Amino acid sequence: MTSETQARSGAGALRLALIVLGVALLAAAPFFFYPIFLMKILCFALFAAAFNLLLGYTGLLSFGHAAFFGGAAYVTAYSVKEWGLSPELGVLLGALAAAGLGLAIGALAIRRQGIYFAMITLALSQMVFFVCLQAPFTGGEDGLQGVPRGYLFGIIDLSQPLAMYFFVLGTFLLALFAIHRIVHSPFGTILRSIRENEQRAISLGYSVGAYKLSAFVMSAALAGVAGGLKAIVFQFATLTDVTWQMSGEVILMTLLGGIGTMLGPVVGAGLVVAIQNSLATSAFPVTVITGVIFMVCVLLFRRGLVGELLASRFGRRLGAGGA
């Protein structure tokens, strides 16, 4: 066995050990920390990972991802509360609604690039916000409240915090695995080529518009899963979920952790949610603290926290097997 093969094998074993350790820690976490707090982190971590699929791997900066997150939250909450759907079907319906909305918004937005793309997504997202504000079935400024958690597959009572936590954790891990498979597939390779040099990808004969739209819809659907889970966890859906501030928050989480990395958005979401939770009763504005942290990260950690770790000697060793 050559030294290069040994290095690849060792890096692969190390990555597997870290993954197993991470899953074990997540499984043990609700026995030591407040489950609702942990579920909030998982929901926003999935939201940030979905956004990173678009920004980090396709190079498209969307200012309107709150439309998919919040829109799916409303659809899930309404279908579970008014139609009596089970929680898993409610989340699935929310994800499908987010995918449909992503298809409509993406078909318009991908016609432009750069800041024009970002502004179109912001404008269309604001239209979704005003629909949620005015539509009678959304509850207006009061939102949809008293959403029942119900029974998972008609068997597991999700009103129990631990049962709800493991439902959220299982969905989060499945979604993260799906993102990993997308990113490391031939489709993901083409997305990265579009991010690096779109004109070259066009010259090679790829239908760049179709790939962009596909990535946009996938990102929207996964963001919808996160929004649907949040509606079930907190048992309500409000206008906060569809505001432009929510879109800015997920951008902050992704940049803080490191774009173009699998764990970066998860770490960024965990930090932001933890800061918000710890300062919730403080008189000091939370936005000021997060703004300062973001500036420090931009100045000192240009790749984000996880990005800098992967660029270090340990990260290069970890990636020796070809991450």
| Tokens at 63, concatenated | 């200012």
Burial class of residue 12 in the structure, from the number of CB atoms within 10 Å of its CB (0-12 exposed, 13-18 middle, 19+ buried): middle
CB within 8 Å of 312: residues ≥ 6 apart:
none
Which domains, ranges and CATH numbers included, belong to the chain?
7-321 (1.10.3470)
pLDDT digits (tens, 9 = 90+) for 57-80: 888 888 888 999 999 999 999 999
Do 42 and 67 contact (CB within 8 A), yes or no? no
Q: Which of 34, 69, 67, 73 is nearest to 49 (CA)?
A: 69
Given this model, what pLDDT does residue 217 score?
93
> How many Å separate Cα 109 from the centre of its chain?
20
Query: What SS3 state is found at 292?
Result: helix
Dihedral in degrees, nearest 10, Cα atoms 129, 130, 133, 135? -110
Burial class of residue 13 in the structure, from the number of CB atoms within 10 Å of its CB (0-12 exposed, 13-18 middle, 19+ buried): exposed
The per-residue pLDDT string of the chain (323 residues; one tens digit each, 9 = 90 and over) reads 465 555 455 555 667 777 778 788 888 888 888 888 899 999 999 999 999 998 888 888 888 889 999 999 999 999 998 888 889 999 999 999 999 999 999 999 888 888 888 899 999 999 988 888 888 888 778 888 888 888 888 788 888 889 899 999 999 999 999 999 999 888 888 888 888 888 888 888 888 888 899 999 999 999 999 999 999 998 888 888 898 888 888 888 888 888 888 888 888 888 888 887 877 666 666 677 777 777 777 677 767 777 767 766 655 555 544 44
Given this model, what pLDDT does residue 159 score?
84
